[in-house]
Amino acid sequence: MGAHLKTDYKHIVLDDRGTARLEGTSIKVIELVVEQQAYGWSPEELCFQHPDLTLAQIHAALAYYWDHQEELDKEIEKRLREVDRKHAQARKSISPLRTRLRRRGLD
């Protein structure tokens, strides 16, 4: 890990790419936010799912998100588009196994 810049949020630092992370961890704020949105998890449930984090760290990450929501939501959308693109690309490519199955009429 490289140098981290302190922020006005206790427990939150910016890495050398400007990505908000929980200090002393490799966990990105955006990862916790995506988990919360995807699963509907409360801060307490996030803490349960990440026993190495404190509730204070979780709340700091969520506070950072709410204060930077527009920017982080754009990053989430960008990541989702990339996942969709990779899935579409994978569906287009035919694996050797799938080719053999098709030859046998099993696909």
Amino acid making up residue 19? T
Q: Which residues make up the CATH 1.10.10 domain(s) of the chain? A: 1-67
SS3 (DSSP) at 12:
strand
Q: For residue range 53-93, what is the model confidence (pLDDT) as tens digits?
A: 999 999 999 999 999 999 999 999 998 898 888 877 777 66
| Helices 55-67, 29-39: inter-axial angle, 10-degree rounding | 90
Confidence of residue 29 (pLDDT cuts 50, 70, 90): very high
Domain 1-67 has CATH 2.60.40: no
The residue with tokens 């996030």 is 46
pLDDT of res. 30:
96
The number of angstroms, rounded, from the C-alpha of 98 to the middle of its chain's C-alpha atoms is 31
The number of angstroms, rounded, from the C-alpha of 4 to the middle of its chain's C-alpha atoms is 19
